[in-house]
Amino acid sequence: MVQPTDAFRAVERSKVYAAVVDQILRAISAGTFPPGSALPAERALADQLSVSRGSLREAIRVLEHAGVLDVRVGSGTYVADGGRSPTAMLRAQAAAIGEHSPLDLIVARAAIEPVCAAHAATAHQPADLEELESALREQARLTQQGEDPTGADLAFHLAVAAASHNGVLLALEQNLIELMHEQTWSDLKHRSRSRVHAAEQFLEHHELVLGAIRQRDPRRASQLMSMHMSAIEAGLVAELEGPDRSGG
């Protein structure tokens, strides 16, 4: 077993605190520091990593906020009970490069997008339906051809928000879509969509949402969008916990 004193090495000066976060996560993931165990004292750890104590504190702050570490004043810094969970690890990795956790992002989407769908069902105009149908046709074409439907997928969600004719909801959705261009989200969502039948499932969900909007059924539109968000979240979590492309 790797000894705690051998778990770290000096890091490059560029992106110092992000590199510190990465090394601590690797040590925890490898089992060098199991949940409940204490990290070396701040001064000793900073010396071992050849970083300033300020950079180390910033890394520890990120890891504490992500739920990886538990900082106990007057006692030390410990690996939290859930510190090795994929959710905590992902949140820390994203924060270290200035991005947001995909799982945090899907929580925000689940709060906003069903509301957008409900309002779209009552407020849409003929031109909105045309925009939704256009995005859906492009998504279907790309999915059937085995190409990446991300652009059309996002266009559909933006069109739903636009169809709500609520400027605040539209602005919120635009912000969410901007966050979905972050690399952490893009990478994990791409892997999730690559799971067997996932792309086809997401397309089917969009078709159902459009049907409810077209029928001016706000309750069903909201429920279907919530179902869609839950499916996306389940795919992301499954990919984090262990890729499996053999299922149906």
* Statement to judge: residues 38 and 152 lie in one domain: no
Provide the pLDDT for residue 79. 95
Q: Does residue 246 lie within any of the structural domains?
A: no
* Statement to judge: residues 84 and 120 lie in one domain: no
For residue 135, pLDDT over 50 is answered with yes
For residue 37, pLDDT over 60 is answered with yes
| Three-state DSSP class for residue 79 | strand
* Statement to judge: residues 120 and 232 lie in one domain: yes
* Statement to judge: residues 71 and 144 lie in one domain: no
Domain that holds residue 162: 102-241
| Three-state DSSP class for residue 7 | coil
- pLDDT per position as a tens digit, 85-104: 888 888 998 988 889 999 99
Between the two ends of the chain, the Cα-to-Cα distance in Å is 39
The CATH number that applies at residue 164 is 1.20.120.530
* Statement to judge: residues 16 and 114 lie in one domain: no
Provide the pLDDT for residue 247. 34
The count of structural domains within the chain is 2
- Average pLDDT over the chain, rounded to an integer: 90
Q: Does residue 180 lie within any of the structural domains?
A: yes
- Alpha-carbon torsion angle 173, 174, 179, 180, nearest 10: 80
Q: How confident is the model at residue 4 (pLDDT cuts 50, 70, 90)?
A: low
For residue 5, pLDDT over 70 is answered with no
Q: How confident is the model at residue 3 (pLDDT cuts 50, 70, 90)?
A: low
* Statement to judge: residues 18 and 120 lie in one domain: no
Domain boundary among 53, 68, 96: 96
What is the pTM for the complete model shown? 0.79
* Statement to judge: residues 80 and 110 lie in one domain: no
β-pairing verdict for 69-72 and 76-79:
antiparallel
* Statement to judge: residues 82 and 126 lie in one domain: no
* Statement to judge: residues 165 and 46 lie in one domain: no
Half-sphere exposure at residue 25, Cβ-oriented, CA atoms within 13 angstroms? 25
Q: Does residue 83 lie within any of the structural domains?
A: yes
> What secondary structure does DSSP assign to 149-183, as a single string?
-HHHHHHHHHHHHHHTT-HHHHHHHHHHHHHTTSH
Domain boundary among 50, 72, 96: 96
For residue 65, pLDDT over 80 is answered with yes
